[in-house]
Chains A and B, each alone.
Chain A
């Protein structure tokens, strides 16, 4: 009698644990994340385009303010932000629980250790994922082309990073980075807009004021950048520098704001906003010199194959005209005294991706994740919990099967 009561009780307890809905992810698959400084790309193993893009930001659980993931104060702060973010990605966008899922995170080779460790802790300890693999973004970008030598220049939101890869091995000593990218273009647009508004003689009530420009949100600057700005050709840029009176600027337009006011966007702004990428900074660096300086660093037999296998990735590199201008700048610099006798190369060649540049690294991760290599290299939950160690990236990255 007593045993029967106990039995029925255990039955009752069991039924309390209702079956879990498996979600929209199939059993064997997993999730690839590329958490960029501005946008995070997320999608499923072996798929050819990300399921979506989402801003890399969350509402702070304490203050309710929207904060970028990369603005973290310390590891604990980052831990809280990442929990919110990963929760949003899985429950809102994947409509599934991350528990017992396979995860790939595509990251830059120079991602800070605290970031990598905190993300692993969030995924394993809080969300109890099955396995996790970090893949270096520059290296996996090659997977989208089927090659194993290439000079990968990633122009993102806050910085441009460059890493040559030779026969599948990253040439770390030729790593270059420069803190220019989409963000510097946007702040340049703000400066240009301010100048334009200030130069107006009679204030027009329909147009924005200098204060309006100062308070303009980043999303509006981004929209102006995306919908109207482009990288001009070297010839036209030289014309602007010479103040050539025959130079015909592109059309002006008025960008309407929700407040009813309008922002006057000039042709000059549209054409020159992206020049920050090509202007030489105090150290005489721009994105073109990054490539050449890196080629100077590598050994002589690598120079030609790398120069003829340039990969341009990152959202900012999608700007119309950027690739053409970069090639023009590279060719001009090659003739300059600074590089003439150092490089022994004649030409530069670029690759075309079977994807959009802003998710190339994600795509490389998704392809790699679909192979057997994933299971071999990923950190399993048990292993992580036993020693709490995330192997350094070089242990993983150089194991890439890229020939």
Chain B
């Protein structure tokens, strides 16, 4: 089913301007607009381990280690633990049944318990880096304090763009003096023995280790050289020999949920995490927007009228009335107002109401249609989706005043519609005939009727731009 709907022949324009197949869209039940991946905010709903499918509460999934070998064989995610030594003085090490790697190969000491607490490896330079980090932290703190006025005036001086040019044009004596003074003051603060903010800078050397003779004399053993990918997994060591490879943490996976950016309601919330299962929310556009599929068409010839049959299907649990309209001319006011996404202004100056709704400009994807569709003027009423009626052959009691020229058949929530299509006369053979129209359907807001004051259900008309790749233009002479 998803595959059928994913055939990108029928594309709809999202409120934000992106073009998506209908199954890739959402319909917000609160703002009554179409949303897509580009105009919802993604959130991390739950985190899980891809191998045991447990969610993050399984502590072990955080510490599962693995390693890779060159020309990777399937990697075991949780290497089986083997027992070793006598029962009284047991020690454990990890061993991989696939490639015979053991934790001893990487010089990881054996552990007393089988369940782990395998030591975390720390960066080999961490002592030095901690010193540096402390140094820059204290400079940062110093900079933050207000005592440092001289420093700030130095900053002010530097912010002037002129100092960037001074090397090019030489210092004017005055500016130079100013700079030296400032630097002196600044260094005074930084080297002040009372403030104790000093660090031993790295000492440069001119004694560089020459190229190892091994490169010239030794044979290349590809199996012992790790690939870049494997080196990057141990980013601080980046070993060049497989014997130095270390186990590394496996990544957890994330289950995302989507939220409408305008009203902040969820439009999609997966049920993965057991704690949220009762709140499964799935507002896919597929279930709200009438689905259009091409059934058949007569050969398309440039400038000539052909016939095309669509199946229109209402997947929503309420009935809907649809109308067809021509697309508004490009970049007209009407067209632009269609993309009304995230129109809320940000109220940042008002401190009491600090709204965080962001404006993201619509990303309008241009579509050029290459054919004209003769749109029916009449309205079509589609009954709600009823899975039981689908199996019932006798349910076709037709009480709809359909124009038989347009509606050629009806079955439950589906209707067959015939239209006339004229590919543009200047179109070349073999190119795609693309048509577009504005589909207006009614959405019945059941949410308001059940929760609020028992009103009659609200019926909201919704416009959606549809673009259809009908097929390629055929050759007139081939007929």
A and B: bona fide binding partners: yes
Decide: B236 and A48 in contact? CB cutoff 8 A: yes
Q: Which of A321, A368, A394 sits near B215, CB closer than 8 Å?
A: A321
Decide: B44 and A327 in contact? CB cutoff 8 A: no
Query: Closest residue of chain A to B171, judged by CB?
Result: A299
In the complex, what distance in Å separates the CA atom of A111 from the CA atom of B100?
47
In the complex, what distance in Å separates the CA atom of A250 from the CA atom of B252?
44
Decide: A230 and B211 in contact? CB cutoff 8 A: yes
**Residue A226, interface by CB 8 Å:** yes
Query: Closest residue of chain B to A326, judged by CB?
Result: B208
Query: Closest residue of chain A to B126, judged by CB?
Result: A48
A 155-170 contacts with B by CB, 8 A: 167, 169-170
In the complex, what distance in Å separates the CA atom of A53 from the CA atom of B289?
42
**Residue B296, interface by CB 8 Å:** no
Number of residues in A with C-beta < 8 Å to the partner? 111
Number of residues in B with C-beta < 8 Å to the partner? 86
Query: Closest residue of chain A to B212, judged by CB?
Result: A320
Query: Closest residue of chain B to A143, judged by CB?
Result: B136
Decide: A231 and B211 in contact? CB cutoff 8 A: yes
A324, chain B: closest CB distance, angstroms: 5
Q: Which residues of A contact B395 (CB under 8 A)?
A: none
B140, chain A: closest CB distance, angstroms: 3
Decide: B187 and A403 in contact? CB cutoff 8 A: yes
Given contacts A95-B251, A373-B139, contact A352 B202 (CB under 8 A): yes
Query: Closest residue of chain A to B220, judged by CB?
Result: A253
Query: Closest residue of chain A to B273, judged by CB?
Result: A21
Decide: B136 and A398 in contact? CB cutoff 8 A: no
Given contacts A95-B44, A143-B132, A222-B228, contact A372 B210 (CB under 8 A): no
**Residue A385, interface by CB 8 Å:** yes
**Residue A97, interface by CB 8 Å:** yes
**Residue A240, interface by CB 8 Å:** no
Q: Which residues of B contact A136 (CB under 8 A)?
A: none
A66, chain B: closest CB distance, angstroms: 16
Contact with B along A239-258 (1 / 0, CB 8 A): 00000000011110101100
Given contacts A49-B235, A367-B133, contact A373 B43 (CB under 8 A): no
Decide: B202 and A351 in contact? CB cutoff 8 A: yes
The stretch of B101-109, B159-167, B315-323, B415-423 that contacts the partner chain: B159-167
The stretch of A76-84, A187-195, A196-204, A332-340 that contacts the partner chain: A76-84
Q: Which residues of A contact B377 (CB under 8 A)?
A: none
Q: Which residues of B contact A170 (CB under 8 A)?
A: 164
B275, chain A: closest CB distance, angstroms: 9
**Residue B360, interface by CB 8 Å:** yes
**Residue B149, interface by CB 8 Å:** no
Q: Which residues of B contact A370 (CB under 8 A)?
A: 133, 136-137
**Residue A29, interface by CB 8 Å:** no
Contact with A along B195-239 (1 / 0, CB 8 A): 000011110111011111001111110100101100011011010
Given contacts A91-B256, A250-B215, A385-B348, contact A9 B163 (CB under 8 A): no
Decide: A18 and B279 in contact? CB cutoff 8 A: yes
**Residue B174, interface by CB 8 Å:** no
B394, chain A: closest CB distance, angstroms: 41
Decide: A299 and B232 in contact? CB cutoff 8 A: no
A356, chain B: closest CB distance, angstroms: 5
A 350-386 contacts with B by CB, 8 A: 350-356, 358-359, 363, 367-368, 370-374, 376, 382, 385-386
In the complex, what distance in Å separates the CA atom of A253 from the CA atom of B104?
31
Decide: A372 and B137 in contact? CB cutoff 8 A: yes
Q: Which residues of A contact B133 (CB under 8 A)?
A: 46, 367, 370
Q: Which residues of B contact A327 (CB under 8 A)?
A: 206, 208
In the complex, what distance in Å separates the CA atom of A46 from the CA atom of B123?
13
Query: Closest residue of chain B to A80, judged by CB?
Result: B363
A57, chain B: closest CB distance, angstroms: 14
**Residue B295, interface by CB 8 Å:** no
Query: Closest residue of chain B to A166, judged by CB?
Result: B167
Q: Which residues of B contact A249 (CB under 8 A)?
A: 216
Decide: B227 and A324 in contact? CB cutoff 8 A: no
Given contacts A97-B43, A128-B358, contact A398 B158 (CB under 8 A): yes
Q: Which residues of B contact A174 (CB under 8 A)?
A: 167
Query: Closest residue of chain B to A375, judged by CB?
Result: B144
Query: Closest residue of chain A to B145, judged by CB?
Result: A372
Query: Closest residue of chain A to B132, judged by CB?
Result: A146
Q: Which residues of B contact A2 (CB under 8 A)?
A: 453
Q: Which residues of B contact A39 (CB under 8 A)?
A: 232
**Residue A323, interface by CB 8 Å:** yes
Given contacts A146-B135, A173-B167, A327-B208, contact A386 B348 (CB under 8 A): yes
Q: Which residues of A contact B201 (CB under 8 A)?
A: 145-147
Q: Which residues of B contact A110 (CB under 8 A)?
A: none
A 31-77 contacts with B by CB, 8 A: 39, 41, 46, 48-53, 76
Q: Which residues of A contact B200 (CB under 8 A)?
A: 146
**Residue A20, interface by CB 8 Å:** yes
Decide: B360 and A126 in contact? CB cutoff 8 A: yes
**Residue A261, interface by CB 8 Å:** no
12 sample A-B contacts, Cβ–Cβ < 8 Å, listed by A number: A51-B235, A83-B38, A95-B251, A95-B254, A226-B225, A309-B204, A310-B204, A352-B202, A355-B129, A372-B143, A386-B348, A401-B136
Known: A12-B451, A371-B136, A373-B143. 9 other contacts (CB 8 A): A79-B363, A95-B47, A125-B358, A324-B208, A348-B206, A350-B205, A353-B202, A356-B236, A372-B140
